[in-house]
Structure 1
């Protein structure tokens, strides 16, 4: 929008002289004559330097000398916008638009004001007007920047498809626009087109190989695609470039947790704590790594520390409850698990963990309540379905059978649901159906036999089940 100053802070030597002359005039409290273009440069100089009071004073002097020169009013509107005087800025801009309806800079400034007001629809409208009138005027070279601002407004509205369209137009004209490449990758990530997202992040990295944030984002996308090897590779590059980048260490820890390399996850979380200090969430994840390594005393220590740092964080309450349960202190575990559910009532997993602990203590009605709520939150939660089926079986096998058979999507659920169904079919005398279902699951995964024994231990000594296993 404004011309760039040179390394000395001025537009050129002649401007330097004019600026000194202007400052002499101010100090002398006198009035000198200046050409309108020189005054415009002086005003822009003060705006660039963020000396806005001086800019407004220069505008007042300029308007007295050249009252018909509307650029001064535009600069005044821009200063008001910067100062947060948005209403005053808009009033000036509306007047200017009537005088000069084809001035792109007026529309750009107006769009910027509406953006600050969070009125993204109007911001988009005026950026589009600016593009429309810029095609044939002096702002042709600034079209790229206008389009980029337009794309950001679409992003602010979560309209990522429109943002992609605008960013694509930028890249058609300038394939090396790094900001556009980065943003289009982000937009593809938001709409779930991870392959396109990877393409653009790789393109950005080709031009910016030392951008640790780009490597980090690339790692996140590979993680979402469940490409663990590539995710770790990208996170590792981010850390090599910036060893103090805590987020990369944290996500690397999460990735190692997913593939059950708990020692490496622990190391990553420890590094993250070393960088970020006592962050409650990171310490909770560190505690979970100790828990998975069955180092329960250390896990409990860090869960307690996380809880003390942030009592409203649900994860450490859950972790403490799980460890007490693992130590056969389920009565004490339940109070912690209940607090975790209170803090995150919409978390189906927390309710299942609590339901399981209640079931263990034969508090069946309470367990049933938690599991039913978990299934309301996530109707495909297989562990909740099986556990609730087991509770119902305590009262009535036929009720448990009806409960499982009511799931129309049973074929798409985890195999544990179907193997539990096989056990209930056997117990209710539907032995042929039970055997056929087990055989089908066993042919897909031989480990199904171990799962069946969890629900029907006597199957180990039943010849019909043994025959299915031995004949395969």
Structure 2
């Protein structure tokens, strides 16, 4: 690859400096060379080398304001804010029109969580600088810290007006729009941005994401297509393109796009899983199963992979195989509520009620508070004749779903079955009040209670 003259000089400076460190010979560098060397080491996270370079730099150029500002940056990096501030005040006395002094002072105030003062100082820097884009970007970041997303957005937009290719500012603008729930406005903004910079794969990709969020999959696909044409190694664009194609039921094309992500990088469990789902939608069950197995091989801890295999066999009504795989999954993670719910559902289908009851109990224990989970668990307890346990579980469920007719009718039936007519009538009255038309729940689950004269009288009174 051909290097520019500046890049060649930069690389020469670095190798010259590193050679000097190895030989202990002191070589001369101009102050700008030193600045670049120090900032390079800071960017690389090599703080000790940056400090060595700074020490030598200040020995050779003790009056350089640029180097002293780099020193300030390193002091701030080390949280030596008071020393940094003192040095900045000395520099301000010498060069009051240097915008970098205001930027570094703002950085110190930002570190102290005084973001209003930081903005004030950056506004001063704005009056002195030629690099408006950088300062607008810094002001935007301060407003982000203050959770003032509107002002942050304004400043990131100003930054992009000055420097259309500032990708960080572009991401931040979109983030602000999304946080403010202004997705359509974000799309309008990106369309205007693309008019100015039509080959920005980031802008096309972000537009696609926004259209996808609005469920406009055709436009999302169009945007991801452009992004992937501009940069044919943009893995994120191919991944999102595949998801859009899948939503549009264009499964064969989706598979191609997912495969492209695998060509660009190591296979991800997500891509393998989605390829399996696409093959299943196309009716190619052997290939679907093959990719589900690849998914769990790639990432044995990914619950979606094990669930895909389990659900695949459930759909085939092959409950023995489904049980085998859900047991494997539980062996890997026995606190996963999604595994336990499937374990319960499969055992229920096999008429293993005690195992099913344990599965629903474990699912709730590990955080599944869905209404249907409670109801399945309660109905199994009833079928097992565990009325007290079923009542206790219903009362627990009522804390999550107060005034839920399905729980009230079940409580009524169980209390009547348990011989507690007072509580039975109380909950029957609640059920009839909340949803009279669903009183047939009592008939289907508790036929012997339904035929009672006093129960029929209560229903007919309503």
The normalised TM-score by structure 1 is 0.63
> Judging changes above 3 Å, is the alpha-carbon distance between structure 1 residues 421 and 72 closer, same or farther for their aligned structure 2 residues?
closer
| Corresponding residue to 1:96 among 82, 87, 104 | 87
* 2:421 corresponds to: none
> Which structure 2 segments of 5+ residues have no match?
8-24, 42-49, 417-427, 446-462
1:167 alignment partner in structure 2: 153
> Bigger CA drift: 219-228 or 324-333?
324-333
- Distance (whole Å) between structure 1 residues aligned to residue 373 and residue 77 of structure 2: 54
> Are residues 1:106 and 2:101 paired?
yes
Aligned to 2:77: 86
Corresponding residue for residue 36 of structure 2: 48
Supply the distance in 2 between the matched residues of 1:393 and 1:256 (Cα, whole angstroms).
46
CA distance in 2, matches of 1:343, 1:191: 40
Structure 2 counterparts to residues 32-71 of structure 1, below 5 A? 42-48=30-36, 50=40, 56-63=55-62
Task: Name the residue aligned to 1:468.
Answer: none
Whether 1:76 aligns to 2:71 is yes
Alpha-carbon shift at residue 286 of structure 1 (Å): 1.7
Unaligned runs of 5+ in 1: 1-6, 11-27, 32-38, 440-451, 457-472
**One of 174, 180, 188 as aligned partner of 1:185:** 174
Cα pair distance change 1:370/1:198, threshold 3 Å = farther
How many Å apart are 1:282 and its aligned residue?
1.7
Q: Distance in 1 between matches of 2:336 and 2:182?
A: 27
CA root-mean-square deviation: 5.0
CA distance in 1, matches of 2:366, 2:237: 31
String of CA shifts for 1:15-73, please: whole Å, max 9, x gaps. xxxxxxxxxxxxx9999xxxxxxx9xx4124423659666653432332xxx6x65543
Change (3 A) 1:71 1:222: closer
- Change in Cα spacing, 1:239 to 1:45, as seen in structure 2 (3 Å) is same
Partner of 1:444: none
- Pairing 1:131–2:122 present: yes
Q: Is the 8 A contact 1:111 1:127 kept in 2?
A: yes
User: How has the CA–CA distance of structure 1 residues 231 and 360 changed in structure 2, closer, same or farther, with 3 Å as cutoff?
Assistant: same
What is the aligned counterpart of 1:220 among 184, 187, 209? 209
Task: Give yes or no for contact 2:133–2:158 (8 Å, CA) kept in 1.
Answer: no
The Cα of 1:219 is off from its aligned counterpart by 1.9
Question: Structure 2 matches for 1:243-392, cutoff 5 A?
Answer: 243-258=232-247, 260-340=249-329, 349-371=338-360, 374=363, 381=370, 383-384=372-373, 387-388=376-377, 390-392=379-381
Gap change, CA 1:54 and 1:252, over 3 Å in 2: closer
Q: 1:88 to 1:225 in 2, by over 3 A?
A: closer
How far has the Cα of 1:165 moved from its partner? 1.2
Separation in structure 1 between the aligned mates of residue 317 and residue 326 of structure 2, nearest angstrom: 14
The superposition leaves residues 97-123 of structure 1 with CA deviations (integer Å, 9 ceiling, x where unpaired) of: 3435666523533665x79xxx85548
Cα offset, 1:262, TM superposition: 3.8
Aligned partner (choices 191, 210, 213) of residue 202 of structure 1: 191
TM-score (norm 2): 0.64
Q: Distance in 2 between matches of 1:396 and 1:73?
A: 82
CA offsets, 1:250-294, max 9 Å, x none? 233333444555444333323332333433332222223223444
Distance in 1 (alpha carbons) for counterparts of 2:411 and 2:218 = 41
Check whether the contact 1:368–1:388 (CA below 8 A) recurs between aligned residues.
yes
What pairs up with 1:399-414 in 2 under 5 angstroms?
406=398
Q: How many residues align?
A: 387
Counterpart contact for 1:105–1:130, Cα < 8 Å:
no
Whether 1:240 aligns to 2:235 is no
Deviation at 1:220, TM superposition (A): 1.9
Taking the aligned partners of 1:249 and 1:375, their CA distance within structure 2 comes to: 38
Deviation at 1:183, TM superposition (A): 1.7
Cα distance in structure 2, aligned partners of 1:265 and 1:320: 20
